[in-house]
Amino acid sequence: MFDADFAWDLIDSFSTGPYVGTRTQTSGVHNGREVPGKKTKFTVDIACVQPAGGRDLLRLPEERRATETRVMFTKTPLQVGGQGAALEADRITLEDGKLWEIQSVESWMGYTKALLQVPS
Amino acid sequence: MTLPRNPWALVRDAIVQAMIRASGLDESHVLWAYQNTNQPTDDYIDLSISGSENPCQDAIVATTDLTRPAGEEIQLATQGFREVVLSVEVYTKTTVTSDEELDALAIAERIRSAIILPTLRDRALKFGVSFFDSFGAAQYLPKLISTGFRGFALLHIRMFIPAVAAVEYTGYINTVNGTVKVTDDSGITDEFTFHAEGSAPKAPTGTDDGQQDNTTRWDHWAPQSGPWTPDTPIPSGAYSVTVPSGVGTNAWVKGGSGFTTDHTLPPGLAANNPPPGTMVSDGGEGWIIAPPWRAGWKVFTTTDPPDFTSNDGETYICDEDGVT
């Protein structure tokens, strides 16, 4: 049986955070051009970031599987973009100083597993 | 309307507005392709321009402005138009069978028909955009994405748009020096040197009055007596300039910047700021209202200006370098 508290303790003990994220409202359109949405900062206090494994990569579209990918386990809800979505994909600054974009999110029992890539 | 040298922004705006009117979609669902943002919800239109052709040679338009720096008085600007293809990609969530008005092909066909409507064409034409042909078949290429249907139609529209203008500057030839050697049949050589001064109009000195006419401008700024300097205070009041006979009827006197209407105006002078140019005939008199800190006037004439005097007791002699 899954022990949520144990999972949380595990993430906490392996935490490599905290991290700062940027959440962006989806762009508006004026005269056919993108009008950038409002950006807000948020903090991912406890998160465990690891290199992505082969099975993780298979969850991504084929053209994204050759790109360097990280996996983040956290309790902070994260967002991916999509057609008609109110928010664009969250971006999180990792230790290397780069902005990594959320490509995939799985939520389960209040925990989030996200795949991150640097936008090309 | 006068388009800027690079009209692309206006052209794109005009095309988008035309497509909004033609398609019936709202502004948030008509956008240029290849932007880094989420797709809008269906139904929406992606626009892109390609295939720019130059159907005829561009013209060079020369304009002269003597207030530009020496050697750059003449502006040479290209002017022309381009024939381009506007690709209209229509994405819808509706199939052909569910609503005949909202499927992708129906919207594409509506756009094809609407671009010849006079109101739509006139609005676009104000920005130099002229739709003239929606050639070829409107392609209908719906697909299933995962388990979802997506309608897709592609329409190409040919149109003319104004070209981006390239600009360079040139000036007049002021002086030509040269030597010519002529040897006659007897073997005697004569050598001639020549020196030619250009007859081009000379840019006037002084403050630019913003005019681009053929008048020569004669400026003078002066205090009540002596050369004017910004630090020299002068009394407030009305000053007059008498233009002697010989100027002709095309002379006028005008107060310059800094003149105000805080003072009693002479009869017949409109209360504008700065005072308007006062037309004077031969021997006529122009009025200038002086604020506390500067006084002066500008004499415009199409003939060589004579000396003139003002009521400050000074006589001013005009030459091409201004007034001494």
Q: Which of B74-88, B125-139, B280-294 has the lowest mean pLDDT?
A: B280-294
Assembly ipTM: 0.72
Nearest-by-CA chain A residue for B37: A27
Q: Which of A65-79, B17-31, B203-217 has the lowest mean pLDDT?
A: B203-217
Q: Give B188's DSSP letter.
A: -
Q: What is the pLDDT of residue B295?
A: 37
Q: Does the pLDDT value for residue B179 go beyond 50?
A: yes
**pTM assigned to the model:** 0.59
Q: What is the pLDDT of residue A109?
A: 80
The pLDDT of B228-242, averaged and rounded, is: 42
Query: How confident is the model over B285-298, as pLDDT tens digits?
Result: 444 433 333 334 44
Q: What is the pLDDT of residue B308?
A: 45
d(CA B294, CA B281): 26
More confident residue, B84 or B147: B84
Provide the sign of the torsion angle of the four alpha carbons B57, B135, B44, B18, taken in this order: positive
The pLDDT of B121-125, averaged and rounded, is: 90
Mean residue pLDDT across chain B: 67
Q: What is the pLDDT of residue B101?
A: 77
Q: Does the pLDDT value for residue B222 go beyond 90?
A: no
d(CA B277, CA B270): 10
Q: Are A103 and A89 in contact (CB under 8 A)?
A: yes
Angle (nearest 5°) at CA B16 between B14 and B18: 70
Going along chain A from its start, the domains and CATH numbers come out as 4-117 (2.40.10.270)
Of the pLDDT bands very low, low, confident and very high (cuts 50, 70, 90), residue B14 is: very high
Q: Does the pLDDT value for residue A14 go beyond 70?
A: yes
Question: To which H or E segment does residue B316 belong?
Answer: strand B315-316
More confident residue, B238 or B61: B61
Q: Do A29 and B40 touch (CB under 8 A)?
A: yes
Q: Could you say which of A26, A29, A88 has the minimum Cβ distance to residue B31? A: A29
Q: Does the pLDDT value for residue B310 go beyond 70?
A: no
Chain B residues inside the 8 Å CB shell of A29: 27-31, 40
Of the pLDDT bands very low, low, confident and very high (cuts 50, 70, 90), residue B23 is: very high
Q: Does the pLDDT value for residue B284 go beyond 50?
A: no
Q: Do B16 and A28 touch (CB under 8 A)?
A: no
More confident residue, B84 or B186: B84
Chain B residues inside the 8 Å CB shell of A33: 12, 31-32, 35
d(CA A27, CA A40): 14
d(CA B288, CA A116): 74
